[in-house]
Chain A
Amino acid sequence: MTRFSFFALAALTLALPAGQAMAKPLRNGGKLLLTNGISSLEGAAGGGLTPWAVIAGNETDEGFGLSAHGTIVEVKDYDYQSAGVAIGIRDRLELSYTHQDFNTNEIGAALGLGKDYAFSQDIVGAKLRVAGDLVYDALPAIALGVQYKKNGQGDVVRALGARDDEGVDYYASVSRLFLSRSILLSATARLTKANQMGLLGFGGDKNGDYGVEFEGSAAWQLSRGLAIGGEFRSKPNNLGIAREDDWFDAFAALSLSRHLTATVAYADLGSIATVKGQRGVFLSLQAAF
């Protein structure tokens, strides 16, 4: 089900915008500053923890855009890094790839995996803005997305209780920049089986089915190049041995230039892989064209 349906949907979303406006020459770039968001942990354009209904890259509906990002998260007991790329097609369709590494440091030894044991995951994502606009339309931007995730440590995540080492998330996002208040609000509903985004596999002994999770961002634009805000992401709790908590962060995103956005956040990720109180710093740098 997973792999086939993902590629079928990706092919479908690609086919939709291909027919429109092909007669006009391409004009790349031109998106308003910061309105492409940053790269979320799983690679979709948005906030740090959750996708927004915006499309990666600086293009408008007349062109193609590109973004690349690197993110590190340093919480109490763990290190996390991810890097990825995304293309935006006519500000309509986004395709992304992200690789995640999650290092368990000392906890790895306590879990019997060995010190510095690292989980990894590859994520291929597609997002289609189906209606509306972040800034201009009466209707807010509305997008549908899929994320195919493949965990690199299948045997270990199964030993932890996960049912699978791959899975597909489906999500819908609604995002709006309220210019009159300089406030951006975004909400996402996600269907997922993933434990800690999938880094601990998919499904578990407590639950093996899809559940609906809710995610949200609120940001206040203080100046042309600076926004601050907070995020929330509810999480499933499928593994008996490793409780999973909802995520929170408070962030500041700074446009260093037209092409570079730096984000720093304080994140509370709760309990991860049996150890609670995982709070720390999120740092991300995005280049977009």
Chain B
Amino acid sequence: MSLILSLLLLQAAPHAMPGEATVDPYVASNANAGATPFTGDAMARAFHGQEGIGRVVDGMVTRAYADPVIGEIFTSHDKIRLKRTLVEQFCYILNAGCSYSGRDMASSHKDLGVQRKDMNRLVELLQQAMREEKIDFQAQNRFLSKLAPMHHDVVGQ
């Protein structure tokens, strides 16, 4: 118990930033990002650094909320917090200089009822956003290869 408390104190990242809806407390950790980061800076450069990652996440999330297939999964969710934690997650995995302060994939997708078709649709929207940012196609797939194994914690929860 004291270990968890000291961990909570050590992890200074807040569960919710100002302007975001509150969430149940959890222990923030990069392990929650669900993938090990790339080494070196090639992937961060391929995604045009933190600014490019920000534009990719913005493009994907904006499309997701408006999407006829998966939009209703997102509508009840805090878009501001989702964007912030996704930027952190992508930036951490791409080794672009961020820590991830969000929840793990299983908790953050619990009871959303996400099916395979929804996951594939989100992949397509991410591909559209990456294409719009003119990210090299091989780098797009390298990034997707880090996200693909997460489907176990996302689909059918």
Contacts and interface: CB of A to CB of B under 8 A. Distances in A.
The answer to whether A binds B is yes
Contacts of B151: 136
B142 A61 contact: no
Given A135-B148, A136-B148, A136-B149, A60 B120 contact: yes
A27 interface: yes
A24 to B, nearest CB: 8
B137 A224 contact: yes
Interface string B53-81: 00000000000000001000000000000
B149 A27 contact: no
B123 interface: yes
Contacts of A181: 141
Given A27-B115, A30-B117, A62-B116, A221 B141 contact: yes
B148 A179 contact: yes
B138 A182 contact: yes
* Interface class of chain A by DSSP: loop
A179 B141 contact: yes
Interface string B86-126: 00000000000000000000000000000111101101100
Chain B: interface residue count, which band? 20 to 34
A181 B137 CA distance: 11
B131 interface: yes
A93 to B, nearest CB: 16
Interface in A28-81: 29-33, 60-63
A63 B121 CA distance: 15
Contacts of B120: 30-32, 60
Q: Which of A32, A61, A91, A138 has the most CB of B within 10 A?
A: A32
B144 A179 contact: yes
B121 to A, nearest CB: 7
A20 interface: no
Contacts of A257: none
Interface of A: 27, 29-33, 60-63, 91, 135-136, 138, 178-182, 221-224
Interface of B: 69, 115-118, 120-121, 123-124, 127, 131, 137-138, 141-142, 144-145, 148-149, 151-152
22 contacts: A29-B117, A30-B120, A30-B121, A31-B120, A32-B124, A60-B115, A60-B120, A61-B115, A62-B115, A62-B116, A63-B117, A135-B148, A136-B152, A178-B145, A179-B142, A179-B144, A182-B137, A182-B138, A221-B141, A222-B137, A224-B127, A224-B137
Closest 9 A/B residue pairs (Cβ): A30-B117, A179-B145, A180-B145, A60-B116, A182-B141, A136-B151, A60-B117, A179-B141, A179-B144
